[in-house]
Structure 1
Amino acid sequence: MNLEKAVGFIRRFQLLAAGFILLIIGFILSPSPSNAENHAVYVIPVHNEVEKGLHAFLKRGFEEAEANGAQLIVLDIHTPGGQVNAAGEIGKLLDETKIRTVAFINDRALSAGAFISLHADAIYMVPNAQIGAAAIIDQQGNAADKKAQSYWRSAMKSAAENNGLDPLYAMAMADPAIHLPQYHAPKGELLTFSSKEALETGYSKATVRHLDDVLKAEQAAQAPLKKVEESWADKVARFVTSPVVVPILLSLASLGLILELYSPGFGLPGSIGLSSLLLFFYGHLVAGLAGYESIVLFAIGVLLVLAELFLPGGIAGFLGISAVAGSIILAGEDVKWMGMSILIAVAVALLGMILMVKVLGKKMKFFKRMILSDSTNTESGYVSNISRLELIGKTGLAKTPFRPAGTVIVDGERIDAVTEGGFIEAQKKVIIVKVEGSRIVVREIEE
């Protein structure tokens, strides 16, 4: 059964791995758009949460704009914020490009979105837009420690100063201790500018209603317009690299693979488990978080786990699981968070197994196959051995010497027996005095 399971596992893994490799090759070899005209305006959306997948998408958009000699990059911003590290890399991307950049706040630019906007060469806002509320929080949604807050406050200040803006307002967006009542930011609350307030303080260059107004203000109304859209690969990468989705994927992977170990053949649980792992690595690879070394380490881990089916000792399995866990940690950006995600996945898998076995195991045929529910009891007609009570009192002839075990012939039947402790020579007459299960006790008959 182990051999059949291993063969099925290998075949299904080969199919999934082949599909995964084709996706990677398609992503690498897909030609970048090259038909954009020179001096075009590139419009790149900055929507939803700011994370590493967004940075990878913006980086490719900036590279395309630079390769085609674009004169202006407009970031269409509508975001509630996101990861600090991703925002920092996007800010660096804006600082390093030679193309003029504009932040078009089409609704709101909060937290990390405000930080990104401050790194643009100019900010334009629609009438009801907002910018600010740039508090830094950890993965659990709590306020970050003082060290992280100090860094973030300094980063906001530097972003404002580099664009000739009053840094006090940027710091007030990140520090609730700064008191600015004239802008509805009393002590203890973060500063958030409306479009009117941003215009008054110089944070916004103009209040506009449409993108066309931004292009007119930038004297690029006649320039060709190139809107960069997220590909399906970008959308997948942004989705699977989300801090919320990562533990879910790893939980599905661990639960599916554990279920597969206890089910015959290779079926749905194993497919879900491997697909979740491949999706995890694909998204992190596209987002620029995972390198090919993590993929290689993952493949080595899988091979070692497969080798455990044929090798005794458990060493190969332990090394394989360690390699898979190491590849997952290596693929992530934050080692601490990835380690926590793995622990969450293991806990979910164990709880899921207990729930499925205890609750669903009695109701669903799939889980019944995983549980040994049959019992061999006397009521069902099963006995461990036959108790030969009818032999008590019968006499026979010792076929072999008893030291104290031997063989006796009773009514032509050879029976294994023992003495009460003494020695009996062969060919002596004996009588069976006790039967205890399979233990038959004989005694020599004195002539």
Structure 2
Amino acid sequence: MLKCLKTLALVCFWLTLSAGHAAPVVVIPLVGAIGPASADFVTRGILRAKTEGAQLVVLRMDTPGGLDSSMRQIIQAILASPVPVASYVAPGGARAASAGTYILYASHIAAMAPGTNLGAATPVQIGIGNPMKPEPPKNPADKNDKAASAPAAEPDTQDAMTKKQVHDAAAYIRGLAQMRGRNVEWAERAVREAVSLSVDEALAQKVIDLSARDVPELLLKLNGRKVSTANGEHVLQTAGATIVTIEPDWRNRFLAVITNPSMALILMMIGIYGLIFEFSNPGFVLPGVVGAICLLLGLFALQMLPVNYAGLALILLGMGLLTAEVFLPTFGIIGVGGIIAFALGALILIDTDLPGFGIPLSLIVTLAAFTALFIFFISSLVLKARRRPVVSGQEALLGSAGIMLYDLQAGEGWARVHSEQWRVQSTVPLRKGQRVRVTARSGLTLSVTPINEVEPGE
């Protein structure tokens, strides 16, 4: 009996020791619209979890959706991850809409907190126009009544490109559902009909695996579950495991700031302002350096976003016209055209209607007004510089006053002009000390006439 008790105590000790050294669980928060910055954050977080020997990655989501390219980047990282990934829609009131639904379907484990929802995965139309209309729900009961209640031919509300995008998205999420053994039919309806589900409905229709109030409860329910990943099968030992939450570092925060469409446009405009100011007033250096850095950052951000190149071309055309207004006497005609081109380009610059990726109209109006004021301010400086008298070169000599150094009866003599001795010629006699004015220059000889009376300012 004593021996059995010792054996039981030893087993309990080893179980406690092994639980205390269980591999950690990494939590990656995915909040807000999914874009280049969040995709980079998630993919790097999954790689870090692999490096640190984590047994599970919990992707805690609350997103309205995002860019297709960023969504696919995250899904590719999940599918290739040797560490199981559990997508967890939390906290209460959160959602995994649009791109978030695809990510949840791609994850090894799908979970939701009470009071959350997912769905509405219809792709948003790219470009200018109305959002895509989801296909009407197909009701088999309507087939028999179609001839009696519907017209002979129904108009097609979707163009070819729209259909291609919907079919591609439906096939993509259908493949993910088949891979994870989840509800394929509802996944396709989420794309074609933009339907959504609450947590209870998602559980009942086998869209998700479980629900949990928080991460500790989720880990408790996942304890002992078998999960298949890219490198084989894993048995989770998550009860009492250490939870490590990864927060965005300075790189992710910086990327999130500059890839905001509004900030990208502002950076590009600051860059163009700086270069225009530097070219108009050479020698300041600082505006040129700051302008070049901001312009490169703005272009870097734009190449990561869904940019309409026609909009970008209009913005560049507008800035070119505004720059020409500084140097050409067009009386504002080119400047007004430049402002109109810039405003139109900014309106269509971002080629998507997804939430979180639009440029506010108020910002466009503000930038257009500021650009107009900036260009006309630079133009006024240039005009003032043009009106200043010439202080060097041949033009500065014409009209200058000088003093004769010797008497000149006819022909040529010498005079002091601008503190320099010049050979001068005159058609009338001049005496030493007499003041003269330069009327012309031929090589190193100046033509002068006598000044008979004191003129104002001399």
The within-5 A match list for 1:155-174 is 155-174=172-191
Q: Distance in 2 between matches of 1:126 and 1:250?
A: 42
The within-5 A match list for 1:44-193 is 44-106=28-90, 107-137=94-124, 138=126, 143=131, 145-146=161-162, 147-176=164-193, 190-193=194-197
Confirm whether residue 273 of structure 1 aligns to residue 257 of structure 2. Answer: no
Residues 93-146 of structure 1: CA deviation (Å, up to 9, x unaligned): 111112211111011111111111111112111111110111222265854732
Confirm whether residue 344 of structure 1 aligns to residue 356 of structure 2. Answer: no
Question: Structure 1 pair 343/163, CA: closer, same or farther in 2 (3 Å)?
Answer: same
Question: Structure 1 pair 257/360, CA: closer, same or farther in 2 (3 Å)?
Answer: closer
Residue type of the partner of 2:104?
S
- Structure-2 residue corresponding to 1:290: none
Q: Give the structure-1-normalised TM-score.
A: 0.57
- 3-state SS in 1 of match to 2:69: helix
Q: Distance in 2 between matches of 1:82 and 1:361?
A: 36
**Quick one: which of 193, 206, 209 aligns to 1:205?**
209
Residue type of the partner of 1:130?
N
Question: 1:88 Cα shift?
Answer: 0.9
Q: Give the structure-2-normalised TM-score.
A: 0.56
8 Å Cα contact 1:103-1:120 kept in structure 2: yes
**Quick one: which of 204, 218, 222 aligns to 2:222?**
218
Q: Distance in 2 between matches of 1:335 and 1:259?
A: 30
Question: Structure 1 pair 260/141, CA: closer, same or farther in 2 (3 Å)?
Answer: farther
Q: Distance in 1 between matches of 2:116 and 2:37?
A: 25
Residues 257-304 of structure 1: CA deviation (Å, up to 9, x unaligned): 1222112422553344133135447x76xxxxxxxxxxxxxxxxxxxx
**Aligned residues: percent identity?**
24
8 Å Cα contact 2:272-2:291 kept in structure 1: yes
- 3-state SS in 1 of match to 2:62: strand
Question: Structure 1 pair 258/208, CA: closer, same or farther in 2 (3 Å)?
Answer: same
The within-5 A match list for 1:399-410 is none
8 Å Cα contact 1:108-1:130 kept in structure 2: yes
Q: Distance in 2 between matches of 1:230 and 1:270?
A: 32
Q: Distance in 2 between matches of 1:358 and 1:42?
A: 51
8 Å Cα contact 2:32-2:62 kept in structure 1: yes
- Structure-2 residue corresponding to 1:251: 269
- Structure-2 residue corresponding to 1:305: none
Deviates more, 1:81-90 or 1:164-173: 164-173
Question: 1:74 Cα shift?
Answer: 0.3
Question: Structure 1 pair 87/264, CA: closer, same or farther in 2 (3 Å)?
Answer: same
Residue type of the partner of 2:170?
R
Aligned length: 301
Deviates more, 1:62-71 or 1:132-141: 132-141
Question: 1:372 Cα shift?
Answer: 3.1
**Quick one: which of 336, 352, 372 aligns to 2:384?**
372
8 Å Cα contact 1:250-1:345 kept in structure 2: no
Residues 345-372 of structure 1: CA deviation (Å, up to 9, x unaligned): 553575597467975677x6x7643433
8 Å Cα contact 1:153-1:171 kept in structure 2: yes
Question: 1:238 Cα shift?
Answer: 2.4
Structure 2: segments with no counterpart, 5+ residues = 1-20, 133-160, 224-237, 327-334, 336-368, 390-396, 400-409, 412-424, 432-438, 440-458
Structure 1: segments with no counterpart, 5+ residues = 1-36, 177-189, 285-327, 378-383, 387-396, 399-406, 417-447
Residue type of the partner of 1:174?
V
Q: Distance in 2 between matches of 1:409 and 1:261?
A: 47
8 Å Cα contact 2:59-2:87 kept in structure 1: yes
Q: Distance in 1 between matches of 2:23 and 2:370?
A: 61
8 Å Cα contact 1:52-1:86 kept in structure 2: yes
The within-5 A match list for 1:424-435 is none
- 3-state SS in 2 of match to 1:45: strand
Q: Distance in 2 between matches of 1:339 and 1:221?
A: 55
Question: Structure 1 pair 109/376, CA: closer, same or farther in 2 (3 Å)?
Answer: closer
Residues 398-429 of structure 1: CA deviation (Å, up to 9, x unaligned): 9xxxxxxxx9956789xx9xxxxxxxxxxxxx
8 Å Cα contact 1:52-1:241 kept in structure 2: yes
8 Å Cα contact 2:112-2:212 kept in structure 1: yes
Question: Structure 1 pair 44/350, CA: closer, same or farther in 2 (3 Å)?
Answer: farther
- 3-state SS in 2 of match to 1:91: helix
Q: Distance in 1 between matches of 2:314 and 2:77?
A: 34
Q: Distance in 2 between matches of 1:195 and 1:76?
A: 15
Residue type of the partner of 1:64?
R
Q: Distance in 2 between matches of 1:224 and 1:93?
A: 23
- 3-state SS in 2 of match to 1:226: strand
- 3-state SS in 1 of match to 2:89: strand
Question: Structure 1 pair 58/139, CA: closer, same or farther in 2 (3 Å)?
Answer: farther
Deviates more, 1:268-277 or 1:75-84: 268-277
Q: Distance in 2 between matches of 1:347 and 1:39?
A: 57
Q: Distance in 1 between matches of 2:68 and 2:215?
A: 28
Question: Structure 1 pair 213/87, CA: closer, same or farther in 2 (3 Å)?
Answer: same
